[in-house]
Amino acid sequence: MKTPVLLHRKICFLIDDDPDDRSLFLIALNKFDSTVELVTSNNGVEALEKMRGDALFLPDYIFLDLNMPYMSGRECLIKLREIERLNRIPIILYSTVRYFEEFSSLGATSFVTKPNSIESFVKVLAGIIK
């Protein structure tokens, strides 16, 4: 008897305070690959509570907005990188302003500019999520 193969469903964790941006992200993600699960947090404080409170939660990708209330994206990035189980998880900055050079030394993997269109964002996601 063959052992069943369990397929890993990819998970994207989006940390963004803007509900419209979260909705656009979900639309683009579903157009690219509807099997990828999107988990969201409204801000860095909420995201860190989730990460620290659920040791089994291990996303494949983290998309992080830089301009958020309560905790900046910079501070959130630093605190996410302090969580050992996230060391190999790509953290992609997701913002309207390009800051990647400054944040790569803090552990950011890459940078995505918030999209002008769904179609262009689908292509960007396809290049990141393989």
Residue 45 lies in a domain: yes
pLDDT score, position 95: 77
Ranges under pLDDT 70 in the chain: 1-8, 97-102, 105
Q: pLDDT tens digits, residue range 65-89?
A: 988 888 988 899 999 999 999 989 9
Q: What are residue 38's DSSP bridge partners?
A: 12
Q: How many domains does the chain have?
A: 1
Residue 5 lies in a domain: no
Q: What is the CATH number of the domain that holds 67?
A: 3.40.50.2300
Residue 74 lies in a domain: yes
Cα gap 23→115, rounded to integer Å: 12
pLDDT score, position 6: 53
Residue 27 lies in a domain: yes
* Domain extent for 44: 11-123
CB of 112 closer than 8 Å to CB of 128: yes
Cβ atoms within 10 Å of 63's Cβ, excluding its own: 25
Residue 1 to residues 4, 5, 6, 121: CA-CA distances in angstroms? 9, 12, 15, 44
